[in-house]
């Protein structure tokens, strides 16, 4: 079975992003590289859900452009996108199928219906969706030039948190 290999600190940040945006859907992009059968995640790019909806997401263009440029500059490719389902399980909906990113990009879904977030990854085309195993990996294999956790953390901090916070302050109703 094909695998989406995600460093634990990136997976943790994705789950935190989903929780922090709830009850709205969150979305983001994962950069890295693909081998014959696996997708290796190296960077996390938080995106703004311009729909601010509990049932739909659409990446706000400026945050998406910033993420795509960062992926390209790092010599990576888009290996996965992620989004949350605040009130349901991490199973693709028909809307997810119709709005999927690309045939060779994994769709990681975070389900927040239970007391503990659940996540599952999918290839959405051809339909019905095919599940991809999500496996945590350290990213260290002795490769020359392999990104360190420090470098990966810098990528996360530069990935748009300030932009998301500013968007929330400007566009979300204050409680």
pLDDT 10s digit of each residue in the chain, 175 long? Answer: 899 999 999 999 999 999 999 999 999 999 999 999 899 999 999 999 999 999 999 999 999 999 999 999 999 999 999 999 999 999 999 899 888 888 899 999 999 999 999 999 999 988 889 999 999 987 654 333 333 343 444 444 444 566 566 656 666 555 4
**How far apart are alpha carbons 18 and 108 in whole angstroms?**
12
Q: Which of 54, 45, 44 is nearest to 21 (CA)?
A: 54
Q: Which domains does the chain have, with CATH numbers?
A: 3-171 (3.40.140.10)
pTM: predicted TM-score of the whole model, two decimal places: 0.81
- What would you report as the CA-atom Rg of the chain, rounded to the nearest whole angstrom? 15
- Catalytic residue (one of 25, 60, 77, 161): 25
Give catalytic status of residue 21 as yes or no.
no
CB atoms under 10 Å from CB of 89, counted, come to 12
């Amino acid at each position: 079975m094909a695998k989406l290999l995600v460093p634990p600190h990136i997976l943790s940040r994705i789950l935190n992003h989903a929780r922090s945006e709830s009850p709205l859907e969150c979305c983001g992009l994962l950069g890295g590289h693909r081998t014959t059968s696996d997708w290796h995640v190296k960077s996390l790019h938080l995106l703004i859900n311009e729909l601010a909806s509990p049932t739909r997401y659409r990446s706000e263009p400026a945050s998406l452009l910033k993420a795509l440029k960062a992926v390209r500059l790092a010599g990576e490719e888009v290996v996965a996108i992620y989004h949350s389902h605040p009130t349901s399980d991490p199973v693709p909906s028909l809307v997810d199928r119709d709005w999927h990113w690309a045939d060779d990009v994994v769709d990681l879904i975070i389900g927040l219906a239970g007391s503990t977030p659940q996540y599952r990854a999918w290839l959405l085309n051809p339909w019905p969706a095919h599940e991809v195993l999500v496996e945590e990996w350290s990213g260290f294999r002795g490769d020359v030039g392999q990104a360190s956790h420090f470098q990966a953390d810098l990528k996360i901090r530069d990935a748009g948190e300030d932009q998301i916070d500013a968007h929330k302050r400007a566009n979300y109703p204050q409680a």
